[in-house]
Chain A
Amino acid sequence: MSRKFSISAGVETLFIGRNHIHLNETASTNNYAAEMLRQVGTPEGTVVTANYQSSGRGQRSNTWKSTPGENLLCTFILKPNWLLLKDQFLLNKAIALAVHDTAEAFCPGSFIRIKWPNDILLENKKLSGILVENAVHAGQIVSTLAGIGFNVNQENFEEGSGNPVSLKLELGATVDVKHVLATLSSFLEGWYLRLKSGKIDQIEEAFNYALWKRDEWQSWQSNDRIFEGKITGCDHQGKLILLDRSNQEFRFSHGEISLLPE
């Protein structure tokens, strides 16, 4: 396993991404970052990237597959010990917005949205996934691992890998993965510092604005109930806010509701 340690050139941020560890191959960048935190106490903003993850993880049993070197596979180490546990979804919003803005910077004019709670879609196809893992001690967040898989140059995807897309498929040109990392670091720092300085309204507003299927009537299912509803936003705790045809408001946690196929 080759390992490089560098202060990244071309990253114009204060702390996010300035300390960069690049691995040729690792099981998962989140696992590697967690182990680094345990062993050496890595500074905030450190990013771990890999050309290839042998067991890249989505949420729990889901895996994240990527062809070596073609995509951005990274984990940012954050230490939001000022953030209350009950407010943790705000950090998810900040991370999702950073990925969203990065996609928009490379594909201006394309339709880019955040699929609640934290997938990034480009023209309704999955461009990026996020896996957030917090370490919690005595009721307080000690560290956050923001794992991001971002399809950059991959053109061929395995059967059954959902409905993926990459920047290259959208743009018809190869994109420098390092450039994507630098852009993402910069946006992440911006949103993270907004969160830290209490500019919550800006985060909520931008997140709601970027929500996929917002303000569109869709068929939804929750338990046994099937109803027509439209997304109006996502609340502080991360619950999806829906309005039904009788103008009644409902809030759902992740897993409590699904969108029925059109």
Chain B
Amino acid sequence: MDIREIQDLIKFVAKSGVSEVSLETDDFKLTVKTEQASKAGRETIVYQVPSEAPAPVVQAAPAAVAAPAPIAEPASNTVTIKSPMIGTFYRSPGPDKALFVNVGDEVAPGKVICIIEAMKLFNEIECDVKGRIVKILVDDASPVEYDQPLFLVEPA
């Protein structure tokens, strides 16, 4: 099998929608895995992260109880989405574009909820929990710190 045929095979597999093709002859064995296959593999890794993620929330909840602040939301069953980086928080892809999310919107892992810009680099932050946005804690175009709470989400 020459390089051209291998390239054709890769193209074929990519277009076909299957995730993996293995080909075995007398003198070689070839496996072509598509992005969907490795992506699925990665997502199982990513899914382990949310199992850790609720931990800070468990910590956050007693803090809220200790300080009887006038919080309208029942803090006990919400998940806080925090900023993964320092930058400027944006609620839409551009000044006259629709907001990524509003209070009351359903969200799921992979849904873009905001942009954080730092040094002209734009980071689309994807949600990592499934649920409903109950509060947006930061105003559009304001600076945010690392770990600053951005959204409260009621998990579904």
A contacts, CB < 8 Å to B = 5, 7, 40-43, 57, 59-61, 81, 85-86, 88-89, 92, 117-118, 131-142, 237-239, 253-254
Q: Does residue B99 face the partner (Cβ distance < 8 Å to A)?
A: no
Alpha-carbon distance between A131 and B109 when the two chains are bound, in angstroms: 25
The dominant DSSP class at the A interface is: mixed
Q: Which residues of B have CB within 8 Å of A140?
A: 46
Q: Which of A57, A138, A139, A140 has the most CB of B within 10 A?
A: A138
| A residues less than 8 Å from B42 (CB atoms) | 81
| Chain B residue nearest to A131 in the complex (CB) | B122
Q: Please, which residues of chain B bring their CB within 8 A of the CB of A89?
A: 118-119, 121
Residues of B within 8 A of A253 (CB): 118-119
A41–B17 Cα gap in the complex (Å)?
11
Q: Counting CB contacts under 8 A, is B20 at the interface? A: no
Option from A81, A117, A138 in Cβ contact (under 8 Å) with B120: A117
CB distance A133 to B119 under 8 Å? no
Across the two chains, which residue of chain B brings its CB closest to A137? B126
Within 8 A of A (CB), among B75-114: 84-85, 90, 94-96, 109-110, 112
A230 to B109, CA, bound (A): 46
CB pair A85 B84 closer than 8 Å: yes
Q: Can you list 23 residue pairs at the A/B interface with Cβ under 8 Å?
A: A5-B11, A41-B34, A59-B120, A60-B95, A61-B95, A85-B84, A85-B123, A89-B118, A89-B119, A117-B119, A132-B120, A133-B124, A134-B124, A135-B123, A135-B124, A136-B84, A136-B126, A137-B46, A139-B49, A140-B46, A142-B126, A237-B119, A238-B118
**In the docked arrangement, what's the CA distance between A134 and B124, Å?**
6
Contact between A137 and B122, CB atoms less than 8 A apart: no
Q: Determine whether B7 belongs to the interface, using a CB cutoff of 8 Å to chain A.
A: yes
A-B interface pairs (CB < 8 A), number: 87
CB-based closest 7 A-B pairs: A41-B35, A238-B119, A138-B49, A139-B84, A137-B126, A133-B122, A134-B123
On chain A, the residues within 8 Å of B112 by CB distance are 135
Task: Report yes or no: A138 in contact with B46, Cβ–Cβ below 8 A.
Answer: yes
Most buried by B among A7, A85, A237: A85
Q: What size tier do the contact residues of chain B reach?
A: 20 to 34
Bound complex: CA A142 to CA B110 (Å): 10
CA distance A92 to B90 in the complex (A): 20
Residue from B49, B96, B110, B122 within 8 A of A59 (CB atoms) = B122
B125 within 8 A of A: yes
**Bound-complex Cα distance A92 to B57 (A):** 33
* Contact present for B36 and A135 (CB under 8 Å): no
A138 contacts B128, C-beta separation under 8 Å: yes
B119 touches A136 (CB 8 A): no
Is there an interface contact between B35 and A92, defined as CB atoms closer than 8 Å? Answer: no
The winner among B96, B118, B126 for most chain A CB atoms within 10 A is: B118
Q: A136-B84, A138-B50, A139-B84 are in contact. Are A40 and B35 (CB under 8 A)?
A: yes
Kindly state the separation between the CA atoms of A141 and B42 in the bound complex, as whole angstroms. Answer: 12
Chain A residues, CB < 8 A from B90: 60
Which B residues are CB-close (under 8 A) to A42? 35
Task: Give the complex CA separation of A131 and B11 in angstroms.
Answer: 29
* Complex interface: chain A residues within 8 A of B35 (CB): 40-43
A-contact bits for B127-139, CB 8 A (1 contact / 0 none): 0100000000000
Q: Contacts A131-B122, A132-B122, A136-B84: A61 and B94 contacting too (C-beta < 8 A)? A: yes
CB-CB under 8 A from B122, the residues of chain A are 59, 131-134
B126→A92 contact, CB < 8 A: no
**A137 CB contacts on chain B under 8 angstroms:** 46, 109-110, 126, 128
A46 to B109, CA, bound (A): 25
CB distance from A105 to the nearest CB of B (A): 25
Question: Do A41 and B85 touch across chains, with their CB atoms under 8 A apart?
Answer: no
CA distance A238 to B118 in the complex (A): 9
A41 touches B39 (CB 8 A): yes
